[in-house]
Copies of this chain bind each other. A is one copy, B any other.
Amino acid sequence: MKYRRVALIGLGLIASSMAHAMRAKGLAGEIVGHAKSAETRAVARELFCDRVCETAAEAVKGADLVVLCVPVGAMEAIAAEIGPHLAPGATVTDVGSVKQAVVDAVAPHLPESVHFIPGHPMAGTEYSGPRSGFATLFQNRWWLLTPPEGVDPEALSRLRGLIESMGAKVDSMNVAHHDLVVAVVSHVPHAIAYTMVGVADHMRRVSQSEVIKYSAAGFRDFTRIAASDPTMWRDVFLTNKDAVLDILGRFGEELSTLQRAIRMGDGDHLHAYFTRTRAIRRGIIEAGQDTAAPDFGRAVEGAEGG
């Protein structure tokens, strides 16, 4: 059953992509938006919102679906503001990259009469802001939900229906497991990418222009993920601290072992290690989560080498 009125709070890449997707497929009666910045509101009014409000409280009035699309660090203030204005029976969800911190920040401010179903669309690009959205962003991507125990089944299936209609695949899991999984597949890879780019930035004997010029040899892929929105990523690391530090600790141990094998000249260890990692890559391609085209199918810019 399509939502009568969807309120998007925070109008960046995810919200604008949702709006484009809902419009393209006629999934919402009205799309109302709010963003802190007047400039963003103007872009949203022009490109993808039916109506834009100056406050979040105003935007959620009468909405049967409210989607919190602000950085995780801003969730609590927004929840406190909108809580008293939510329509009874409305569903509230969010698109934050961590879930325990969002539940802690948002749940206490919501009235009993609304259904809170936290969510996390695992989709994005290295771009951000209201102009960066597009209708197919969620196509064939995972959208994780962490519904609380005893959630209203009808509210859950309605939300799930909307997400699937935007092209995404839905999985449900508990909050703690979600935060660990994303630490492994996303947060720590980003931390490492940022660090590698930071190392290159500090080099004196290798110039920045050399790093840029020769980046196709592997470094380049790290810069793409290290170019994502700084505010979002600051909040991710501050709010998923335990899982991230756990995985970073393991990473450090693993790296020390590799470093030792290099120092000792242990070729058998290196060869065995590098062989094992190929299997995971094969699994990813077989699962349809990446293209098997050499170098992601980049055209001429495409190559990479030792």
Contact = CB atoms under 8 A, between A and B. Distances in A.
How many copies make up the complex?
A: 2
Interface string A268-302: 00110111111011111001111100111111111
A281 B250 contact: no
A208 interface: yes
Interface string A182-204: 10111111111111111111110
Given A124-B304, A212-B284, A223-B281, A274 B234 contact: yes
Interface stretch (A27-35, A51-59, A85-93, A251-259): A251-259
A47 to B, nearest CB: 17
Interface residues of A, number: 126
Interface in A230-262: 230-238, 241, 244-245, 247-248, 250-252, 254-255, 258-259, 262
A298 B217 CA distance: 19
A125 B202 contact: no
A205 B190 contact: no
Interface string A202-217: 1101101111111111
B262 A212 contact: no
A172 interface: no
B298 A251 contact: no
A225 interface: yes
A226 interface: yes
Contacts of A282: 227
A265 interface: yes
A42 interface: no
A97 interface: yes
B220 A245 contact: no
Contact of A289 (B139, B195, B212, B250): B212
20 contacts: A124-B303, A125-B302, A125-B303, A126-B295, A132-B294, A142-B214, A180-B206, A184-B203, A184-B211, A185-B210, A186-B306, A197-B281, A213-B287, A215-B290, A226-B277, A227-B277, A227-B282, A234-B274, A248-B259, A296-B297
Interface of A: 14, 73, 96-98, 120-127, 132, 136-142, 144, 171, 177, 180-182, 184-203, 205-206, 208-228, 230-238, 241, 244-245, 247-248, 250-252, 254-255, 258-259, 262-263, 265, 267, 270-271, 273-278, 280-284, 287-291, 294-306
Given A230-B274, A235-B267, 19 more contacts: A97-B306, A98-B306, A120-B306, A138-B303, A141-B216, A142-B214, A184-B200, A184-B206, A186-B305, A194-B274, A195-B255, A211-B280, A215-B284, A228-B306, A234-B270, A245-B263, A252-B252, A288-B301, A297-B298
